[in-house]
Amino acid sequence: MKKLLTKVFLAMSLCGFLMSNTVSLNANTQQAELVGQAAAAFKLPSHIGVDISLEQYVGKKTVVLAFYPKNFTGG
């Protein structure tokens, strides 16, 4: 019985590992498709309270958008 449980556990662990890699590969493929695409227009307040929009920089500067969820937070 102990050997059977060990085999079942190992088989389930292997399946979980393989499935997680598949999900990860699909997410990376979707992200790669967005590289080089135009971003949607948006306007956000800056750290000094002035609204900044993406349209202000079109054709003037290179803009890199980076998103850090929960950056520098305890959550």
Interval 6-21 mean pLDDT: 77
The burial class, CB within 10 Å (0-12 / 13-18 / 19+), for 54 is: middle
What residues does each domain of the chain span?
2-57
Tens digits of per-residue pLDDT, 16-71?
Answer: 777 666 555 555 556 666 777 777 888 988 888 899 888 888 888 788 777 777 66
pLDDT at 24: 53
**pLDDT at residue 51, as a whole number:** 92
3-state secondary structure the chain: CHHHHHHHHHHHHHHHHHHHHHHHHHHHHHHHHHCCCCCCCCEEECCCCCEEEHHHHCCCCCCCCCCCCCCCCCC
Sign of CA dihedral 11, 13, 15, 18: negative
